Amino acid sequence: MPRNKYPEITKQRILDTATKLFLENGWEQTTIQNIVDELGDLTRGAFYHHFKSKEDIIDAVLYRLSLENDPFEQAKKMTGLSGLEKLKNAFLLSFTNQGQLDALESIPSILKSPKIIAHQLMDCINTGAPDIQSFIEEGVMDGSLSIHYPKQAAETLMLLTNIWLSPIIFSVDTEEYMQKVKHLQELFNGIGLPIFDKQILAVLETFHKKICILNRLS
């Protein structure tokens, strides 16, 4: 069999097709064979050369969706704002990100997978937290924030908002969800990181209600 001269193109085609099918039909209803059949010119062996399992492909899809309209990259480009204001804008954008809502609607069950949660934990520390840290350090420099441990504050904020506050991993009604949010508000206000203002609280409440409707959590 001739060697594939364009492995990256093949991998992207698989990822494109998987993303389309997951969003159209949902994770549980889409099989690896569905993806292979949709591509038409790819064998299961070729699929497994690029992705070892169904969880591997969904992990790649989630990563792609998270990069679309990256809220932290958008916030970095905003001018005339303090570090705190950029951080708040990044959070506002992240909880109104349509890609995230699409993922939560179509593949909620896999987000509870221990493997995916473990990956999210590492991604929070290795990818998300450094962006938050840069905003915090900018805020310390411009006087909008007073944080003694920027790196640790960034990691804590990222882990709690992405894991503990996840309505998929921890399914609670909106009232309890907002109690968790207000607890975080008190917690981060106490260390000099007043990110949870009235606007963000309102956005989080709306976000949770949408997730409840999409996934019938309430």
83 and 13, same domain (yes or no)? no
Tell me whether residue 60 is in a domain. no
58 band by pLDDT with thresholds 50, 70 and 90? confident
Confidence of residue 1 (pLDDT cuts 50, 70, 90): very low
pTM for this predicted structure? 0.74
**Residue 24 pLDDT level (bands cut at 50, 70, 90):** confident
For residue 30, the enclosing domain spans 7-53
In angstroms, rounded to a whole number, what is the distance separating the alpha carbons of residues 23 and 99? 10
Please report whether residue 61 resides in a domain: no
**CA 144/CA 116 separation, integer angstroms:** 35
Q: Report the number of distinct structural domains present in the chain.
A: 2
Question: Does 104 score more than 70 pLDDT?
Answer: no
Q: Clarify whether residues 13 and 79 are in a common domain.
A: no
Is 63 part of any domain? Answer: no
Burial class (CB in 10 A: 0-12, 13-18, 19+), 128: buried
pLDDT tens digits for 152-185? Answer: 999 999 999 989 998 878 889 999 999 999 999 9
User: Tokens for 108?
Assistant: 């909620």
* DSSP tag of 35: H
d(CA 143, CA 123): 29
